[in-house]
Amino acid sequence: MGNVSIRWRMLVETSLLVILIASASLLFGVIGTILAGILALIAVVFLSLHLTNQFAEVTDGVIRATSIEPTHRLDPAGPAELARIARAVNRLMDRVGEETAEDFAERIRLASILDSMQEGVVVVDDQGIIESANPASIEMLLTAGDVEPGMQLSTLTNHPDVINVINRSIEGDRTVSAEIELFDNSRILRAVSTPFPRPETGAVRALIILTDLTDVRRLDTTRREFVSNASHELRTPVAGIRASAETLQRGAAEDPEGREQFLKMIRQDVDRMDKLITEMLELSRLESGESPLELELVSPSKLVDDSISQFMAVATETDLKLESTVPHDLPEVSVDPEKIGHVFTNLISNAVKWTPPGGVITLNSWVDERSIWFTVSDTGQGIEPEHLPHIFERFFKTDPARTQPGTGLGLAIVRHLVDAHGGAISASSTIGEGSEFAFAIPLGRS
Residues that bind ligand ADP (CB under 6 A): 346, 350-351, 354, 378, 380-381, 383, 391, 396-398, 404, 406-412, 435
Kindly state the smallest distance separating residue 387's Cβ from ligand ADP, in Å: 7
Nearer to ligand ADP, 195 or 423 (CB): 423
Dist. CA 111–CA 117, nearest whole Å? 10
Nearer to ligand ADP, 189 or 351 (CB): 351
Phi, psi dihedrals of residue 98, rounded to the nearest 5°: -60, -45
Nearer to ligand ADP, 6 or 281 (CB): 281
Alpha helix (H) residue ranges in 64-120? 80-116
Nearer to ligand ADP, 247 or 398 (CB): 398
Kindly state the smallest distance separating residue 353's Cβ from ligand ADP, in Å: 6
Nearest residue to ligand ADP, by Cβ distance, number only = 406
Kindly state the smallest distance separating residue 314's Cβ from ligand ADP, in Å: 15
Residue 153 DSSP class: G
Kindly state the smallest distance separating residue 382's Cβ from ligand ADP, in Å: 6
Instruction: State how far the alpha carbon of 81 is from the alpha carbons of 50, 51, 86, 88, in Å.
Output: 14, 11, 9, 11
Kindly state the smallest distance separating residue 436's Cβ from ligand ADP, in Å: 9
Dist. CA 92–CA 100, nearest whole Å? 12
**Residue 421's closest CA among 291, 301, 317, 311?**
291
Kindly state the smallest distance separating residue 350's Cβ from ligand ADP, in Å: 3
Question: Could you tell me if 147 and 138 are in contact, meaning their C-beta atoms sit under 8 angstroms apart?
Answer: yes
Q: Find residue 210's DSSP bridge partners.
A: 120, 191
Nearer to ligand ADP, 336 or 378 (CB): 378
Nearer to ligand ADP, 237 or 408 (CB): 408
Instruction: State how far the alpha carbon of 138 is from the alpha carbons of 153, 154, 168, 187, in Å.
Output: 11, 12, 22, 13
For residue 268, the surrounding DSSP H or E stretch is: helix 256-287
C-alpha R_g of the chain: 49
